Amino acid sequence: MKIEKITLAFVLSPLFPVAYMLIMPYLSGGAYQGRYDVLLVLLFSLPTSYISCLLLGLPLVRALRKRSALTLVNVVGGGVVLGMIAYYLFSWGFAAFLGSSIELTAQAEVLVWGAILGVMVALPFGLIAGLPLHRPSPQS
């Protein structure tokens, strides 16, 4: 595994959820008029995506590499869990900033969206880094 590919994956993979958040309103139908929302999306999603990737994703990749378990399946599985944690913490902090709370049903939605966003970072990361799908079984 070349370190250059992993570095490139760390640089590019956090951009996938950001691109999704920028493109989705235009693909959802209707005449979307929120042109000024682009700055707001970039203001919140770029730092959140990169900080989460560095603070949570980098330790995951290091731990998996140390255990010789750096595979696409393991990275995506970890991305699901870490995405849920990162998005929940962001939502909780944002709600606290606004002086409100998150209802139980909204918490479930936050966890589902966090898992989806985690996959949106982890899957491109694994593909860009050229990770194997799974670890080969030991030869007898």
- Whether 31 maps to a domain, the answer reads no
CA distances (Å), origin 116, targets 20, 77, 85, 136: 11, 11, 12, 27
Q: What is the pLDDT of residues 28-44, one digit of tens each?
A: 766 666 666 777 778 88
What pLDDT does residue 85 have? 93
Do the domain assignments include residue 66? yes
CB-neighbour burial class of residue 77 (10 A; exposed 0-12, middle 13-18, buried 19+): middle
Contacts of 84 (CB under 8 A, 6+ apart): 111, 114, 115, 118
* Domains of the chain: total: 1
- Per-residue pLDDT tens over the stretch 6-17: 999 999 999 999
pLDDT above 70 for 54: yes
Query: Residue 140 — pLDDT band, cuts 50, 70, 90?
Result: very low
| pLDDT bracket for residue 2 (50, 70, 90) | confident
> Which residues constitute the domain of residue 82?
3-23+36-129
The amino acid occupying position 85 is I
Tens digits of per-residue pLDDT, 88-121? 888 888 778 788 877 767 788 889 999 999 999 9
Question: Is residue 29 one of the residues assigned to a domain?
Answer: no
Cβ–Cβ under 8 Å, residues 64 and 90: no
Q: Is residue 85 part of a domain?
A: yes
As to burial, measured by CB atoms within 10 angstroms (0-12 exposed, 13-18 middle, 19+ buried), residue 120 is buried
Flag whether 52 is in a domain: yes
In a domain, residue 102? The reply is yes
Asked, for residue 134, whether it belongs to a domain, the answer is no
Is position 30 within any domain?
Answer: no
